[in-house]
Amino acid sequence: MVTKKSAEIPPFIVMEVMEKAASLERQGEDIIHLEVGEPDFDTPECVKEAAIRAIREGKTHYTHSLGLVELREAIAEDYHKRYGVQVNPDQILVTSGTSPAMLLLFMSLLEPGEEVILPNPYYACYPNFVRMVEGVPIFVKVYEEDGFQYRPEDIQPLIGRKTKAIFVNSPANPTGNLTPPERMKAIADFGKTVVSDEIYHGLVYEGKEHSILEFTRNALVINGFSKQYAMTGWRLGYLIVPPEFIRPLQKLHQNFFISANAFVQWAAIAALKEAEADVLRMKNLYNDRRKYIIRRLRELGFGITVEPTGAFYVLANAKRYTQNSFELAFHILEEAKVGCTPGIDFGSNAEGYLRFSYANSIEKIQEAMGRLEAYLRDNFWLREKAP
């Protein structure tokens, strides 16, 4: 008999869309994928060469459980260069992706019944990590007119004796929006631990991203290499934490994961030190796609009040067509052969929205928008469902 936790965990709906799309592709259908948050670019050559070199040099054994000191020093240097903050390499834990990092983080942070404040909408997996260690997610509604960012005055009434942390994600998944620095400071000023997912840092097209470490040292930072450096399959992430967390996290990591892959860590050093031009090229192409897809979605009747300026997502208001985003997303997949993610995957406050990823070529996005236009033109029954 499986555990109640494993039986009751909700599915990650974007994966259900992707798997349904794969099933249709096996039947010969041509699907355009705008559902998955994965860079379509190849990993930069300098990163691949560094990995190959490491393998040839025999760097294929366990590393220090915190990660290679050379990589931790490079991460600390990167944070100082980007944000002007001092990070001690001994306060960094390198992990096999940000999902293991998040699991370890909440294992070290939460006792049963303690609470983490999260925005609604949110990345679908966040509350599942909290619940898996018997924590309690507490949701704060965020709104389209604010770019789906916290209003600090809505957080304050929810802070109580069980509140252990406030979660921040900027640039955010699923919205692509940035939290303004004044709101980050206001959140830090509540005096609670802030958990900051900074995985989309480096993919910002207007404005500037800020690390929570600019505003408080009472913070646990999650970051990695998958998005900015197109290294999703390499599975490498890291945590930056206060000194008192590092030894407990290290012991958890030793027991459950031992260490991150050695040659991938050497490749990550090359990413930090040598891939700046590659990242800039990818950013420029993402930005062209961003501008195009925002314009076309608006032309097709979707609402986008605040234009997203980071990551590679648009959370588009589809309420003029339906209040059932799950039904709509799968119908678009079946009929238009375009994958997108239903907003309900990201919380109750994202119902009636669809998330579109522009981590695909401009040619594919153009074709997808043409298919979507034809689909909407041919399905006026959707409009009749609108309230």
pLDDT tens digits, 53-83: 999 999 999 999 999 999 999 999 999 999 9
Checking if the pLDDT of 383 tops 80, the result is: no
Q: What average pLDDT does range 152-171 have in this prediction?
A: 97
Q: How far apart are CA 363 and CA 340, in angstroms?
A: 17
Average pLDDT on 210-229 reads 98
Give the model confidence (pLDDT) of 15-36 as tens digits: 999 999 999 999 999 999 999 9
pLDDT digits (tens, 9 = 90+) for 271-326: 999 999 999 999 999 999 999 999 999 999 999 999 999 999 999 999 999 899 99
CATH class of domain segment(s) 45-275: alpha beta
Single-letter code of the amino acid located at 226: S
Contacts of 356 (CB under 8 A, 6+ apart): 34, 293, 297, 313, 314, 316, 340, 341
Q: Residue 40: pLDDT above 50?
A: yes
Q: Which residues pair with 92 in a beta bridge?
A: 240
298 Cβ contact partners less than 8 Å away, ≥ 6 residues apart:
304
Question: Which CATH superfamily groups domain 4-42+277-379?
Answer: Aspartate Aminotransferase, domain 1 (3.90.1150.10)
What does the domain layout of the chain look like in residue ranges? 4-42+277-379, 45-275
Q: For the residues 329-339, what does the mean pLDDT come to? A: 97
Give the H/E segment covering residue 117: strand 115-120
* Predicted local distance difference test score (pLDDT) of residue 216: 98
At 386 the pLDDT is 44
Percentage, residues of the chain above pLDDT 70:
98
pTM score, two decimals?
A: 0.94
pLDDT band for position 135 (50/70/90)?
A: very high
Is 380's pLDDT higher than 60?
A: no
387 pLDDT above the threshold of 80: no
Short-list 143, 170, 174, CA closest to 341:
174
Please report the pLDDT score of residue 370 as a whole number: 97
Q: How confident is the model at residue 1 (pLDDT cuts 50, 70, 90)?
A: confident
Instruction: Tell me what the mean pLDDT of segment 220-224 comes to.
Output: 98
H helix count then E strand count, the chain = 14, 12
CA–CA separation, 387 and 383 (whole Å): 9
Average of per-residue pLDDT across 196-220: 97
**Domains 4-42+277-379 and 45-275 in one fold:** no
- pLDDT at residue 11 in the model: 87
Q: Assess whether pLDDT exceeds 80 at residue 381.
A: no
What is the mean predicted confidence (pLDDT) over 236-249?
A: 98
